[in-house]
Structure 1
Amino acid sequence: MILEAVMLQVKQGMEGEYEKTFRKASEIISSMKGYISHELQRCMEVEGKYLLLVKWETLEDHTVGFRQSKEYQEWKKQLHHFYDPFPTVEHFEKVHLK
């Protein structure tokens, strides 16, 4: 399992519209091959700041399967205009301590 983590900064005053649009766009990502789950967290200290966490079966399910799909183009169309600056996406894997 891979965890995609994205810190998002939504343009001032657009937070309500963003959250509404994100709910709708969630149908896109959740329909993709390799998708496990996702959640969107709103920062309590910084207005307009969000953390998106998405679990994928493999890195390629996100970087190839989703990012190179027609569905991603729709995701991008619905959400990317809300962000300033444009977010950096990072991927994490679980550290097994035993």
Structure 2
Amino acid sequence: MILEVADIRIQPGRQADFDAAIRRGVETVIAHAHGFSGYKVQRSMESPERYLLMIWWATLEDHTLGFRGSLAFSEWRGIVGPFFAQPPVVEHFELIAKSGDVPAGV
């Protein structure tokens, strides 16, 4: 399982609209991609224009080649891209360790 983390900065004052757009974009576009396993979005309390989008993929290639190389990626960016203040910073992580009380997939 691979965790994609996208650090997203949006334009000030657009949080409510972005909250709806990111949920719609993931649930109507990304969730149908091969290898998609789940997602979580968190908004910073100190910097309300900053979001972390976390998506679990079966493999790195499911994200980098499968989804990002598809027309669905353009559809996704059409939904959320107009809110971006700058391009998101995206990295991929693999699980090394976790405590026993952390739910699976988190």
- TM bracket (short chain): over 0.9
Greater than 2 Å deviation, 4+ residue runs: none
Q: How far did residue 96 of structure 1 move?
A: 5.2
Partner of 1:7: 7
Gaps of 5+ in 1: none
Partner Cα separation in structure 2 for residue 16 and residue 52 of structure 1? 16
**Residues 27-49 of structure 1: CA distance to partner in whole angstroms, max 9, x if unpaired?**
21111100000010011111211
Match of 1:23 in 2: 23
For each residue in 1:61-97, what CA deviation from the matched residue of structure 2 results, as whole angstroms up to 9, or x when unmatched? Answer: 0001000111111001111121112111000011159
Q: TM-score, normalised by structure 1?
A: 0.93
Q: Secondary structure of 1:53's partner?
A: strand
Give the whole-Å Cα distance in 2 for the aligned partners of 1:20 and 1:55: 20
TM-score, length basis structure 2:
0.86
Matched, 1:54 2:45: no
Matches within 5 A, 1:32-47: 32-47=33-48
Identity %: 36
The residue matched to 1:7 in structure 2 has which SS? strand
Tell me whether 1:81 sits opposite 2:92 in the alignment: no
Point out where structure 2 has 5 or more consecutive residues left out of the alignment.
99-106
User: How many residues get paired?
Assistant: 97
